């Protein structure tokens, strides 16, 4: 998602720029005032609560506002992101928005503040008042609104400056110049986005060979736990010695070791467009670990693929592979092949189901030759790249 908060004093031109951003980036507009009016008009539970508070002369609580915003975000999953106008309005609401973004597994990408001196704001609003006939566009009311904006907004800007996502723009320039400045900020933000793909499939589905080919074509870093562990063993590192000992004793490599290697891989990979994860996560626990790892590095999963191949075809492929130099340890007997397929079903299918409920999993028909399957996967990846940019 591309989530933006647009700030600026009354008369800064937020309305004009909001219209531009919504159309340009297919964002859903979130204005607390508009949302409250809509809830009240529809007589929803939250709308009735808000109406009761307002009728009594009170201010609508953050408790009500955050629920309305959360419902709006979760109710519009097709949106590429959200444009927040008028929220957060206080320092406390900035923390509320942070918590809400974490809960929804997303984040605020940037806060764009249109900077306009008070006298220019006053002049613009007085001109607007003459044209619109709005009774609140008189100098006394305008200066009170500007005073309130300064007092409440400065702490919020400080909050986001410390996070490094606050961008100030000269709002006195022309509409076109301001729009260009905003686009430049968003372009830089989008360029930071990584395309992180998790590729699933039963053993024999071709996920390894397809994953490597995708990594090469799209300049992604291929992350496969097996080769990483083999590399440590070959180089006789401390981790490699531990893994060798575990293998010798017939034990599984614990998540602590695997995660350490994956985190090193992510941290040491420079100038890549993203990562392809194959063989991880295998379990529900590992899926939470991966989500946390990517979040720590300011990223998240972008696309989840599952290559589907009928069971009999899988067994046939694995049996054929057992007679070649690419034979894997679990290929050398039918009993081992069946056990490995069952292990995937018990441990990994629940992971796929979890991701499908959260993000959606793109199913790819893995029958046919390598090139035909690769073409289908490439089309999906290219579409996702377009969405990110």
In this predicted structure, what is the pLDDT of residue 328? 64
In a domain, 370, yes or no: yes
Both 384 and 293 in one domain: the answer is yes
Strands 110-115 and 274-278: unpaired
Query: Where a domain ends, among 149, 171, 191?
Result: 191
Quick check: 388 pLDDT over 70?
no
Give the separation between CA 165 and CA 132, rounded to whole angstroms.
Answer: 35
Determine, yes or no, domain membership for 44: no
Q: Indicate whether 97 and 119 sit together in one domain.
A: yes
pLDDT at residue 320, as a whole number = 84
Taking only the tens place, the pLDDT of each residue in 343-359 is: 889 989 999 999 888 77
DSSP single-letter state for residue 61: P
For residue 167, what are the β-bridge partners?
A: 112
269 and 381 together in one domain: yes
Residue holding tokens 């985190």? Answer: 263
Phi-psi region of 57 (alpha: psi -120 to 50; beta: other; left: phi over 0): left
Q: What is the pLDDT of residue 329?
A: 62
* Same domain assignment for residues 327 and 215: yes
pLDDT band for 250, please (50, 70, 90 cuts).
confident
Token pair, residue 380, equals 């999906």
What's the number of domains the chain is made of?
Answer: 2
pLDDT value, residue 188? 83
List the beta bridge partners of residue 131. none
For 29, the token pair is 């507009």
Tell me, what's the pLDDT at 80?
Answer: 80
- Averaged pLDDT, 315-340: 77
Do 303 and 155 lie in one domain? The reply is no
End-of-domain residue from the set 191, 217, 236: 191
What value does the mean pLDDT take over residues 183-208? 88
**130 and 16 inside one domain:** yes
> Quick one: 146 and 259 in the same domain?
no
DSSP assignment of 113-165 equals: EEE--HHHHHHHHHHHHHHH--TT-SHHHHHHHHHHHHHHHHHHHHHHHHHT-
- pLDDT at site 340: 83
For 96-148, the pLDDT digits (tens) are 999 888 887 788 989 999 999 999 999 988 888 777 766 666 888 888 888 88
Mean of pLDDT values over 6-24 = 91
Reduced to 3 states (helix: H, G, I; strand: E, B; else coil), residue 197 is: strand
60 in any annotated domain: no
277 part of a folded domain: yes
Tell me if 71 is assigned to some domain. Answer: no
- What is the Cα–Cα distance from 261 to 172, expressed in whole angstroms? 51
Based on the domain organization, do 158 and 204 belong to the same domain? Answer: no
Q: Using alpha carbons only, what angle is made at residue 283 by residues 280 and 287, rounded to the nearest 5 degrees?
A: 65
For residue 120, is it within any domain? yes
Res 106: pLDDT = 80
Query: 33: burial class by Cβ within 10 Å (0-12, 13-18, 19+)?
Result: exposed
68 inside domain = no
Q: Where are the alpha helices (DSSP H) in 26-90?
A: 32-41, 45-55, 62-74
What is the DSSP-derived secondary structure letter of residue 388?
A: H
Same domain, 270 and 381: yes
Identify the domain containing residue 218 by its residue range: 195-388
Last residue of a domain, one of 156, 171, 191: 191
Mean pLDDT value of segment 268-288:
89
| pLDDT band, residue 330 (cuts 50/70/90) | low
pLDDT of residue 246: 86
Task: List, for residues 207-217, the tens digit of each pLDDT value.
Answer: 999 999 999 99
The encoded tokens of residue 377 equal 């996967």
* pLDDT reported for residue 114: 94
Confidence label for 1 from pLDDT (cuts 50, 70 and 90): confident
Kindly report, residue by residue over 136-189, the tens digit of the pLDDT.
668 888 888 888 888 888 889 999 999 899 999 999 999 999 999 999 999 888
Q: Are residues 284 and 327 in the same domain?
A: yes
pLDDT of residue 139: 85
- Same-domain status, 182 and 212: no
Res 183: pLDDT? 92
Does residue 207 share a domain with residue 186?
A: no
CA dist 176 and 373 (Å) reads: 45
Question: What are the phi and psi torsion angles at 74 (to 5°)?
Answer: -70, -25
Let me know: does 122 contact 146? Beta carbons within 8 Å. Answer: yes
123: exposed, middle or buried (C-beta count within 10 Å: 0-12, 13-18, 19+)?
A: middle
Predicted confidence at residue 327, as pLDDT, reads 64
Is 86's pLDDT higher than 90?
no
Can you tell me the distance from the alpha carbon of 309 to that of 349, in angstroms, rounded to the nearest whole number? 14
Looking at residue 181, its pLDDT comes to: 95
Pair of tokens at residue 19:
């219209």
pLDDT at 386 over 80: no
For residue 235, tell me if it sits in a domain: yes
Confidence of residue 373 (pLDDT cuts 50, 70, 90): very high
Output the domain CATH number for residue 260.
Answer: 3.40.50.300
């Amino acid at each position: 998602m591309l989530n933006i908060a647009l700030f600026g004093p009354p008369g800064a031109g937020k309305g004009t720029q909001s219209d531009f951003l919504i159309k340009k980036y297919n964002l859903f507009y979130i204005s607390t005032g508009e949302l409250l009016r809509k809830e009240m008009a529809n007589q929803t539970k939250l709308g009735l609560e808000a109406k009761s508070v307002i009728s009594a002369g009170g201010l609508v609580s953050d408790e009500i506002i955050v629920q309305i915003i959360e419902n709006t975000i979760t109710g519009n999953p097709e949106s590429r992101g959200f444009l927040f106008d008028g929220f957060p309005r206080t320092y406390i609401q900035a923390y509320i928005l942070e918590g809400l973004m974490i809960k929804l597994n997303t984040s605020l990408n940037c806060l764009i503040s249109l900077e306009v001196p008070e006298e220019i704001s006053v002049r613009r609003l007085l001109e607007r008042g003459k044209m619109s006939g709005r009774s609140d566009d008189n100098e006394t009311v305008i200066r009170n609104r500007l005073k309130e904006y300064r007092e409440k907004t400065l702490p919020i800007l400080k909050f986001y400056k410390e996070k490094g996502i606050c961008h100030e723009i000269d709002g006195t320039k022309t509409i076109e110049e301001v729009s260009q400045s905003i686009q430049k900020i968003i372009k830089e933000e989008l360029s930071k986005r990584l395309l992180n793909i998790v590729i699933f499939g039963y053993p024999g589905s071709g996920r390894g060979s397809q994953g490597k080919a995708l990594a090469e074509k799209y300049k992604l870093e291929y992350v496969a736990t097996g080769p990483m562990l083999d590399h440590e063993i070959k180089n006789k590192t401390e981790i490699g010695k531990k893994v060798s000992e575990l293998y010798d004793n017939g034990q599984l490599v614990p998540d602590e070791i695997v995660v350490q290697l994956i985190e090193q891989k992510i941290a040491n990979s420079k100038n890549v467009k993203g990562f392809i994860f194959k063989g991880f996560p295998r379990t529900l626990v590992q899926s939470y670990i991966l989500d946390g790892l990517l979040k720590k590095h300011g990223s998240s999963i972008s696309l989840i693929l599952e290559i589907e191949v009928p069971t009999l075809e899988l067994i046939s492929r694995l049996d054929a592979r057992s007679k070649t130099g690419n034979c894997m340890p679990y290929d050398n007997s039918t009993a081992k092949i069946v056990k490995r397929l069952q292990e995937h079903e018990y441990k990994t299918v629940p992971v796929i189901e979890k991701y499908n409920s959260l993000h959606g999993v793109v199913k790819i028909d893995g029958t046919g030759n390598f090139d035909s399957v690769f073409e289908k996967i490439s089309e999906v990846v290219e579409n996702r790249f377009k969405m990110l940019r």
